[in-house]
Chains A and B, each alone.
Chain A
Amino acid sequence: MLRLDKLVKTYKTGDQALKAVELEVPEGQVLALIGPSGAGKSTLIRCINRLVEPTSGKVYLGDVELTDLSSGALRRERRRMGMIFQEYALVERLTVMENVLSGRLGYVGFWRSFLRRFPQTDVDEAFRLLDRVGLAHMADKRADELSGGQRQRVGICRALIQNPALLLVDEPTASLDPKTSRQIMRLICELCKERGLAAIINIHDVALAQMFVQRVIGLRFGAIEFDGPPEGLTSDVLTTIYGEEDWEATIETVDEDEDDVLEAAV
């Protein structure tokens, strides 16, 4: 569904953020991208929808090659790739509803969007999604009145209303507390399953990644060092990705039951 072919990104400063990355993501697969800061995780995700222009290499989304597209064609393809951001990146001064509907901008003409006259089907879908993430009553609130977890849910709605085939998720939990982090990760993975979406999730928290995804990619200095199931993340593997450290505590499998008890107690 998504295929990266020898993707290279060299920044103007000479830093090589990606070194000929080869990656294939089948339909409906959720994968986590782990690696130390500066390994090129964000760059990789942004090279796919060309928020960052790759230096060379090819990106195939289905049958379409993205790196050669004109700006108009790129905009049409971006509609098929929803993106979720680290600091939510909601437009703070717009309402929750406007933020969700902004996910439809690629489908709606300028004046309709400027005058906020979105098609009723889009509005219906927005309410449905807000209801799904438990924020239906917040539709009229301004985005900056929401808590971190609520904002990220709005961010998820904005990405999903695009009706994408692929989700690009950049550190969705980096600014959230541990419990909210789990809830957000669970929500993203559930929604991907419901809709058969593929997703690439950048994530710092190795334990959290192991809990929710089917496949883990380890990135180090812009090259893939590990590609396999979460169980394959042994302390040796983590040492090659991150460097020497005592990894036993990190890869200790988290007890899901205990998590549920915690959930019920709240």
Chain B
Amino acid sequence: MPVQDRKGQKIWQRRSGRESLMHWVMWLIGVAIFAYCWQQISESTTWFFVWDAPRIANDIWTRATPPRWEYITQLGKPIWDTLNIATLGTIIALILAVPVAFLAARNTTPSRFIVRPIALLIIVSTRSINSLIWALLLIAIIGPGVFAGVIAIAIRSIGFCAKLLYEAIEEIDESQVEAISATGASRWQIMAYGIVPQILPAFAGVAVFRWDINIRESTVLGLVGAGGIGLQLSSSLNVLAWPQVSLILLVILAAVVISEWVSAKVRGAII
């Protein structure tokens, strides 16, 4: 009881005595767990490498600078591939995510006990596996190259897009849907007039947001052979060509900054 009566005067405290004691015990337990974990990590760390890290980092830095600028002529095609992987992957993902989202949303699903769990399973399973792992699997199935990258990005993004979209569908204003139903509209007309206009801003937001993320993700897909600039990155790393590595990182940085700028502009225009 936070309110106590002391000599007719009511004293208010945030927590009662026992509650604040519990609070402190919880903190104590938390700190103890942290200290224990720290000790465990410390035991399994080779500290020599850690103390050595600044020297090695400095060594790589001197080898990597200045970047080998003339190498940029060979990066145009890979960075273009990377952008295409991200864009195509996002478009395919959105096309597949829309029906999944409608099947998963409580207020639009045709059946709560059969279809909805299946849609949720699709969302969870595609989301839980990283695009690099999808790429590894797909390279085994359809061979290395840009196409495997596009599909990997698409599969990975379905769950993300569908989840955000179905949450938007569940949050719509039902009275607008009711009003459209009351006119005698069919199921599809109710969707087109009552629901779609309400989720359009969310859809556009999700699309640019995911595209933005996918540009970052597609830069590393080449590491496993799924096309794009990562391919150059991995081959440069393999031959220890540090000036090339630093140039590639700069190019990736530039691409990400530009994509961020574009998606910020698009989002600003929608909202």
Is B a genuine binding partner of A? Answer: yes
User: Chain A residues in contact with chain B, CB under 8 A?
Assistant: 49, 51, 75-79, 81-83, 85, 87, 89-94, 98, 102-107, 110, 113-114, 155, 158, 162, 168
Q: Residue of A at shortest CB range from B175? A: A89
* Contact-size category for B: 20 to 34
Q: Kindly list 5 other residue pairs between chains A and B, CB separation below 8 angstroms, not including A106-B185, A113-B185.
A: A78-B182, A85-B179, A90-B176, A91-B197, A110-B188
Majority DSSP secondary structure for residues of B touching A: helix
Structural contact, A78 and B175, CB atoms closer than 8 A: no
Structural contact, B181 and A93, CB atoms closer than 8 A: no
Structural contact, B179 and A83, CB atoms closer than 8 A: yes
Q: How far is the CB of B178 from chain A (nearest CB, A)?
A: 6
Q: Residue of B at shortest CB range from A113? A: B189
Q: How far is the CB of B141 from chain A (nearest CB, A)?
A: 37
Structural contact, A76 and B200, CB atoms closer than 8 A: no
* A102 proximity list for chain B (CB < 8 A): 180, 183, 185, 193
B192 within 8 A of A: yes
Q: How far is the CB of A248 from chain B (nearest CB, A)?
A: 36
User: Which 3 pairs from chain A and chain B are nearest by CB?
Assistant: A106-B184, A78-B184, A89-B179
* A168 proximity list for chain B (CB < 8 A): 182
* A81 proximity list for chain B (CB < 8 A): 182
Q: Residue of B at shortest CB range from A79? A: B184
Q: How far is the CB of A76 from chain B (nearest CB, A)?
A: 7
Provide a sorted-by-A list of 6 A–B residue pairs whose CB atoms are within 8 angstroms: A51-B181, A79-B184, A85-B179, A105-B186, A114-B192, A158-B179
* A87 proximity list for chain B (CB < 8 A): 175
B194 within 8 A of A: yes
Q: How far is the CB of B146 from chain A (nearest CB, A)?
A: 35
Q: How far is the CB of B205 from chain A (nearest CB, A)?
A: 14
Give the distance in Å from the alpha carbon of A98 to the alpha carbon of B179 in the complex: 13
B263 within 8 A of A: no
Q: How far is the CB of A225 from chain B (nearest CB, A)?
A: 28
Q: Residue of B at shortest CB range from A168? A: B182
Q: How far is the CB of A81 from chain B (nearest CB, A)?
A: 7
* A91 proximity list for chain B (CB < 8 A): 176, 179-180, 193-194, 197-198
Do A78 and B183 form a contact, CB below 8 Å, given A90-B176, A94-B193, A105-B189? Answer: yes
